Amino acid sequence: MLHSMEDRFSSRDHSPSLSIRLAPFFEGLPEEAVERATANVVIRSHPPNQVILLENDWGSSVYFILSGWVKIRTYNLDGREVTLNILGKGELFGEMAPLDEVPRSTDVITLAPTVIGNMPAQDFVRLLNTEPQAGIRLAKLMARRLRQVNRRLRLRESDSMSRVADILLFLADGQGKQGANGTEIPNLPHRELSSLSGLARETVTRVLSKLEKKGLISRDRDVLCIPDTHALERLML
């Protein structure tokens, strides 16, 4: 479990609140435009391992993560699950299908108790059409995700230590929070790190143990801490 007891949420629906307006995507946008865009948002709580979206669904909503974690997954030709990304608080997903007017291309499933704001797709598209800054923000988000994917692809032929280090840095870049002892990321199940890195679960477990012995990471039940991200980066040189 990625969250402590006080972070658990019930499965009941919540009425729209100020929390959706505080999402980073809306920061700096005109207040009127944000209020209009979020007027029809529905906020829901979801338990772990709940499917939020399925591949080939049509894009009727865009989703903002207010708390918790989700994974973006697909399947390869052999039917093996492949985790493409892990997203947490402040991130959004499901934004491409309404823009392309095509079905979803991936599944999204919760990894922890997660609170999500569902925005009608037409409200999201209207915001992009009327507020240039919103379009720029979305373009920057897409560019960051593309850079992350390109970096992971370049490392596919690297040794296992480099690949696990890269996944940890990838998560730190997207979801890391500065704690007292370094950058903190969720202590994901090894099967998720295996799917992200393309390595066997046993290999991931072995590499994490080596990194911990070297003092490059520390772990407790919910959190994995990277004391020095630069030291971890040097493993990949």
d(CA 218, CA 22): 31
Using 50, 70 and 90 to split pLDDT, how confident is the model at 237? low
Share of the chain above pLDDT 70, in %: 90
Over range 55-70, report the average pLDDT: 85
Q: How do residues 70-103 score in pLDDT, each as one tens digit?
A: 999 888 788 787 888 888 888 999 888 778 776 7
What contacts 146, CB < 8 A, 6 or more positions away? none
Over range 209-235, report the average pLDDT: 93
Report CA-CA distances (Å) from 178 to 36, 73, 125, 182: 33, 27, 33, 6
What contacts 60, CB < 8 A, 6 or more positions away? 98, 120, 121
Over range 6-21, report the average pLDDT: 49
Tokens of 209: 């143990």
d(CA 28, CA 113): 29
Give pLDDT, residue 161. 92
Give pLDDT, residue 18. 62
Over range 1-13, report the average pLDDT: 36
Residue keyed to tokens 């985790």: 83
Using 50, 70 and 90 to split pLDDT, how confident is the model at 1? very low
Residue 2 pLDDT greater than 80, yes or no: no
d(CA 168, CA 162): 10
Mean of the per-residue pLDDT values of the chain: 85
Share of the chain above pLDDT 90, in %: 44
pTM of the entire structure?
Answer: 0.78
Greatest mean pLDDT range, 13-22, 35-44, 138-147, 165-174: 35-44
Report CA-CA distances (Å) from 84 to 118, 127, 144: 22, 27, 14
